[in-house]
A and B are shown apart, each in its own frame.
Chain A
Amino acid sequence: MAYFLQQLINGLTLGAIYALIAIGYTMVYGIIGMINFAHGEIYMIGAFVSLITFFVLGTVGVTWVPLALVVVLFSAMFFTSAYGWAVERVAYRPLRGSFRLAPLISAIGMSIFLQNYVQLLQGAQVKSLPPVVTGGFRLMETGGFAVQLSYLQIIIVLVTIALMAGFSVMIAATPLGRAQRACEQDMTMAALLGVDVDRTISTTFLIGAALAAVAGMMVTLYYGVIDFFIGFLAGMKAFTAAVLGGIGSLPGAVLGGFLIGIIEAFWSGYFSSAYKDVAVFGVLVLVLIFRPSGLLGRPEIEKV
C-alpha cells in the first residue's frame, strides 16, 4: 500500500510535466492540424534556459529560493516562447498551403536542427544542477518503507494545475481564446470575419512553448540532470498523452498527461524500468488501434 501510494505520487508529478508539454501539441494540432515535431525540442530548450538562469543567479548571488524560482520561471517562459515563435515563423508559416508532407518534413528538420544547435553550443555531456528545493513530508511509514511527498512535487503539481486553469479560462473567456477557437473551426471564415489568423497561430505557439518551458524547468529541478536529447522521448510521451486524451482537446491533454505519468511510474515500479518507454509506446499504438479519437476527443470526420 505504501509502495503503491509512493508510485502514485511519483506518477502524478511526472504526469504534470507531460501534461504541460502535451498542451502544446494539442493546441497546435487543434489550430493548424499538424504535429509539431519540434515541440519536444522546445521543452529541452526550456530546461536549458532554466539551468542557465539558475547558474547565473548563483553567480550573481541570489540565494533566496522563492525569488530564484520566480525569476527562473519567467526567464524560461520568456526565452523559450521566443524560440517557439521563431520556429513557427521560420519553419511553418511559409509552408501554409504547401503539399501535405511539407510541414511535417520541415518540422522534423527543425527538430534535428535544434537538437544539434543546443549540442554544439552547450556541449553533449549531461548537465547537472544541485538540488534547489529540498525537504518534504513523510506521509506514512509501513514496514520500513516511508512514503515521501517532497515540497518540490507539491510545487510541480500546484504550478501545473494553476497554469492549466489559467489557460483554460483564457481560451474560454478572452478575445484571444475566441480567435483561437474560431481559427480551429474554419481558418478562412475566421479571416473573413476579421480575425488575424497569422497572429493567432503565432500566439498559440508562444503559449505552447511557454508551458513547455515550465515543464523544462520542473524537470530540471526534479531530476537535476538534463542533456540535449531529453526532448525526444519526452516529446514522444507527451504526444502519446495528447492522443490518449484526444488530440485537440485541452482537458484531454491534461488527463492524458497524468495517465501517462502514472502508467510510466507504475510500470517502472512494478515491472521493469528498462522497458518503461516501450510501455508508453505500446499505449500509443493501442490507443491508435482501439480509440483513435482518444478519451475526450471528437472523432475526426473527413470532408471532401
Chain B
Amino acid sequence: MDLGKLAKDSALAAFVALILAIPLAGFNTNQPGGNSIGTRWDWVAIAVVVVFVGRFAIGLLPKRRRSDRPPVVSLFLTKHQSILGWVGLGIAIVWPFMPFASQYYLDLATAVLIYIMLGWGLNVVVGLAGLLNLGYAAFYAVGAYTLALTAAYWNFGFWEALPLAGLTSAIVGILLALPVLRLRGDYLAIVTLGFGEIIRIILINWQSFTYGPNGINGLPRPTFFGLPLSARAPSGGKTFAQFLGIDFNLAQRYIYLYFVTLALALIVNLFIIKLRRLPVGRAWEALREDEIATRALGINPVSAKLSAFAVGALLAGFAGVFFATRQGFVSPESFNFQESATVLAIVVLGGMGSQLGIAIAAIILVTLPEFGRDFAQFRMLLFGAAMVGIMIWRPRGLFSIRTPSIRLGETQLGEMRK
C-alpha cells in the first residue's frame, strides 16, 4: 500500500468529516432557554482526527476478500450447533433455580426469551423468504392488544387470547401483504414500514375502542390449568399455591411465566425447523435466491411469500401476548419503530436464517442496555451503524453462518463460501 496515497485518502475522508461535523456537531441548539446557540469546536476537531486515524488504520490492514473464510466463531458455532443448542436449553431450564436468579434476572430472562421468539418469527420472513418486514412491532402490537382488548371487553384469560392473538395477527399480515406481494420486494418493505407507524396512530387516536395513549392496565396472567398464581383465588376456586398446599410467593409467578415462555419458544423453534424441511420452506429459500427460476419450476411465488409473511405475523402475535402479560400493561408507545428496528437488528446480527445465531444475538442485544444507562442512550445509534457494517463486511451475520437446508453431495465446512 502506497503510504502517500493512503495519507491523501485519509485527508480527504477527514475533510468530508469536517464538513459533516461543522453544522451538527459544531453548533448546539440544545441549550437551556430556547433560541440561543452554543458551539463545540472541540467535538468537530475530535471527529476529524478520529476519521483521519480510522481511515489510515483501515488502509494499513491487509486487504481481505469479502466472504472469504467465515470467522472462527461462526465456524465453531456452526460445527457444534446442536450441542450448543442443548447446552443453551439446559442453562435455560436450570436458570430460575440458580442462587443468583432474583426476580430481576428472571424477568430479564423472560424478556430475552420473548425477543428470541420475535427474532425467530422475523427470521422466517427476512432470513428464509428474503422479504423485508420493517414494521414487525405492529404485528406484535396486534397480538398484545388482542390480549388486552379481549380481556377488557369479554374477560378472556391468557390461554383463550393466545391462539386468537396469533390468528388475528396472521390475518392482518395477510390482508396487508396480499396486495403488495406481487410487486417488487422493496414495496413490501415500505408498506410494512408505514403500517408500523399507522397502527400506532390508530391505537392512539381510536380512544373509544383502544383506550388511547393511556393504554390498558391489569392484563390477565397465564393460569396453571385454570389455577391462578396469585395470593387469593376468585370465589369458589383455589390458587396454585393452595392446590399444592404451599405458601404463595411472588417468585412462583415469575418462574411460571418464564417456563411458559420457554415452552412456547421451544415449540416455535421446532415448528420452524420442521417448516424448513417441508416443501413450503424449501420454496421460501428458493424464492429468496432466485425468484424467476423458482417460478419456472412451477411454484406460485405469491402464495409462498404470503405463507412466509403470515407465519412471521402469527409468531409475532404469540410473542405480543407474552410481551403484554409480562408487563401487565400495554400502551401504543411500546410498539414504535425502535422495537421493529431492534428485532431486525437481532436477525441481521445473528445471521439471517440461523436459529442459534439469532438466539445469541437476542441475548446480547437485550441484556446490553441493562449494563449501563450510557449504553442505553447509544443503543439505537449502534444498532443502525451495526446493520450497515454487517451488510458491508459480514452479510451472513456476525455470530453464525446460515447452513443450507439441503445441499448436493459431501462438503466440508471450510468450503462454505456462500
Contacts and interface: CB of A to CB of B under 8 A. Distances in A.
Given A98-B395, A108-B387, A274-B205, 13 more contacts: A37-B189, A48-B29, A51-B29, A75-B23, A85-B16, A91-B392, A103-B391, A104-B132, A108-B193, A112-B384, A116-B384, A128-B35, A278-B198
Interface stretch (A5-13, A150-158, A231-239): A231-239
Given A59-B37, A82-B20, A285-B191, A113 B198 contact: no
Nearest to B67: A98
B412 interface: no
Contact of A113 (B27, B36, B201, B385): B385
B210 to A, nearest CB: 13
B265 to A, nearest CB: 25
Interface in B178-237: 179-180, 183-187, 189-191, 193-195, 197-198, 201-202, 205
Contact of A232 (B24, B126, B197, B292): B197
B119 to A, nearest CB: 15
B381 A116 contact: yes
B259 interface: no
B183 A109 contact: no
Contacts of A86: 16, 20
A292 interface: yes
Contact of B391 (A59, A102, A112): A102
A123 interface: yes
11 contacts: A48-B23, A101-B132, A108-B132, A116-B384, A121-B30, A122-B24, A236-B197, A275-B202, A275-B205, A281-B198, A289-B179
B11 to A, nearest CB: 16
Of the four ranges (under 10, 10 to 19, 20 to 34, 35 or more), the interface on chain B belongs to 35 or more
Contact of A120 (B126, B183, B352, B378): B378
B348 interface: yes
Contact of A52 (B29, B134, B187): B29
A102 B395 contact: yes
A79 B202 CA distance: 37
B249 interface: no
Nearest to B26: A52
Please list the 4 inter-chain residue pairs (A to B) with the smallest Cβ-Cβ separation, ordered nearest first: A109-B387, A113-B384, A123-B30, A112-B384
B190 to A, nearest CB: 6
A120 to B, nearest CB: 6
B172 interface: no
Contacts of A37: 189-190, 193
A129 to B, nearest CB: 8
Interface of B: 16, 19-20, 22-25, 27-30, 34-37, 126, 130, 132, 134, 179-180, 183-187, 189-191, 193-195, 197-198, 201-202, 205, 292, 337, 341, 344, 348, 352, 377-378, 380-381, 383-388, 391-392, 395
A56 interface: yes
Nearest to A102: B391
Contacts of A304: 292
Interface of A: 34-35, 37, 45, 48-49, 51-53, 55-56, 58-59, 75, 78-79, 82-83, 85-86, 90-91, 94-95, 98-106, 108-118, 120-123, 125, 127-130, 232-233, 236, 239, 243, 274-275, 277-278, 281, 284-285, 288-289, 292, 300, 302, 304
A64 to B, nearest CB: 19
Contacts of A98: 391, 395
B52 to A, nearest CB: 15
